[in-house]
Amino acid sequence: MSNNGLTERIFAETIAENGGRLYRVGGCVRDRLLGITPKDIDFCVVGMVKKNFKLLFPAAEECGKYFPVFRLTIDGRGCEVAFARTERKVGSGYKGFKISSKPKVTIEEDLFRRDTTVNSIAIDSLSGEIIDPFGGIKDIKNKILRATSQHFSDDPIRALRLAGQAARLGFLIDGDTLALASATADELGNEPVERVLAELTKVLNEAQEPAQFFRVLAQSNLLQSVFEEMAELPAEEFDRAMVKLDAVAQATLSSKLRFAALGLVMDSKSLSCWNSRMTLPGDWLNAAIMVRKVMTLLEFPNPEKIVTALDKLRRGSLTVEEFDIISKAAKLSIPALEPFKATLRQSTYAVPDELKGKDIAQWIRQQHINIIHVKGGWGT
């Protein structure tokens, strides 16, 4: 079948005509029940073998390494289509599972392997029937995150996803589920850093209160396993970092600026150690280090320090405007820099002809200092 103009209805009917069934699953179902427009649509196919599926939908791109997963354009948007599967823990880490994706696996069995009840709900793409075997709808109404089963701790990365769900949804976590998360500490510390960074990135991109991600990890004694530099902060400093992070998150959706807020509390050495373990996005790291440098420089501001700060920001990964967003949101006791930048941009001066090379840069810097001294309020 051609992929051109494929709708969910046609997709589901074709699968049903060939002995299978199609369901929407996971976060898109949860978001729909919350009245949120889902960012991604995920489907689950039951009762069909991969070979038949590929014959019916040759445009589907297979991307699953350990189990059948396909990418397919449905209703004009890229979607992920997985085959119903069961998982059984046979080893450590995320590779330590025996997976079965045979046609006899039911939708209820597939939902059972998922992390929390709010993500263990399905909607039949043909009939619209809601499949909720684990009370996910009730937990959504009560704003509670609860493990779907005792197998929650089989995959240690689920503990990070639990913390991420708490940060993105603003839900409380059931006590027994928090205990299951805590039980993953040893394995979580051995997870590939790419998986950890992926969860952190999702939180910084999407959560209204990203600090809750770190607070949950601290509460479940998991912070040391994955973000040890943050775990080593004194309690008072950690709390201050969380307040600053959420304050900046209210002002911007930029993951770079949100991460940079941590630089208000963490020093460059700690940030560099974090990066050496996890290879953080370069713009995140540079922005966080720059925020701290400029904040420290402007603790007791004067025209010379203002000019130095503007020069540092001009050459760095953080703009003056971005620094001001962080500074204002975090309520730093330093002046906004953009007005000084505007003052210098509007000023004119002629460089003496006799100056050469470095002398020109030094002369211009002194002019900038003089202009801010006079026009910035220091000359009164």
Q: In terms of domains, do 191 and 206 share one?
A: yes
Are 149 and 126 in contact by the 8 Å Cβ rule? The answer is: no
Q: How far is CA 231 from CA 178, 191, 227, 315, 322, in A?
A: 18, 18, 6, 32, 27
Mean pLDDT, the chain, integer: 93
Q: In terms of domains, do 94 and 7 share one?
A: yes
Tokens of 125: 């793409």
pTM, rounded to two decimals: 0.90
Q: In terms of domains, do 173 and 75 share one?
A: no
What is the Cα–Cα distance from 179 to 176, expressed in whole angstroms? 5
Tokens of 106: 């039911």
Q: In terms of domains, do 193 and 235 share one?
A: no
Residue 271 is assigned to a structural domain of this protein: yes
Predicted confidence at residue 379, as pLDDT, reads: 55
Predicted confidence at residue 68, as pLDDT, reads: 79
Best CA proximity match to 374, nearest among 274, 303, 296: 303
Predicted confidence at residue 99, as pLDDT, reads: 78
Q: Which residues in the chain show pLDDT less than 70?
A: 1-4, 64-66, 89-97, 379-380
CATH number, domain with residue 182: 1.10.110.30
Residue 361 is assigned to a structural domain of this protein: no
Domain boundary among 186, 203, 226: 226
Q: In terms of domains, do 11 and 119 share one?
A: yes
Residue 198 is assigned to a structural domain of this protein: yes
Residue 355 is assigned to a structural domain of this protein: no
Residue 373 is assigned to a structural domain of this protein: no
Q: Give the DSSP letter string of 185-203.
A: HHHHTTS-HHHHHHHHHHH
Q: In terms of domains, do 122 and 26 share one?
A: yes
Structural domain range at position 211: 143-226
Residue 358 is assigned to a structural domain of this protein: no
Best CA proximity match to 271, nearest among 218, 241, 229, 243: 229
Q: In terms of domains, do 15 and 88 share one?
A: yes
Q: In terms of domains, do 210 and 246 share one?
A: no
Name the helix (H) or strand (E) containing 97. strand 97-100
The predicted-structure confidence for 177-214, as pLDDT tens digits, reads as follows 999 999 999 999 999 999 999 999 999 999 999 999 99
Predicted confidence at residue 98, as pLDDT, reads: 75
Residue 351 is assigned to a structural domain of this protein: no
Best CA proximity match to 239, nearest among 216, 263, 215, 220: 215
Q: In terms of domains, do 2 and 110 share one?
A: yes
Classify residue 87 as exposed, middle or buried by CB count within 10 Å of its CB (0-12, 13-18, 19+): buried
Q: In terms of domains, do 14 and 64 share one?
A: yes
Q: In terms of domains, do 302 and 328 share one?
A: yes
Our CA angle for 316, 318, 323, nearest 5°, is 130
Are 145 and 165 in contact by the 8 Å Cβ rule? The answer is: yes
Domain boundary among 133, 168, 184: 133
Total of domains in the chain:
3
Predicted confidence at residue 72, as pLDDT, reads: 95
Residue 367 is assigned to a structural domain of this protein: no
Domain boundary among 99, 115, 133: 133
Q: In terms of domains, do 33 and 75 share one?
A: yes
What is the Cα–Cα distance from 274 to 320, expressed in whole angstroms? 25
268-278 helix and 193-206 helix, angle to the nearest 10 degrees: 120
CATH number, domain with residue 103: 3.30.460.10
Q: How far is CA 106 from CA 222, 263, 330, in A?
A: 34, 48, 50
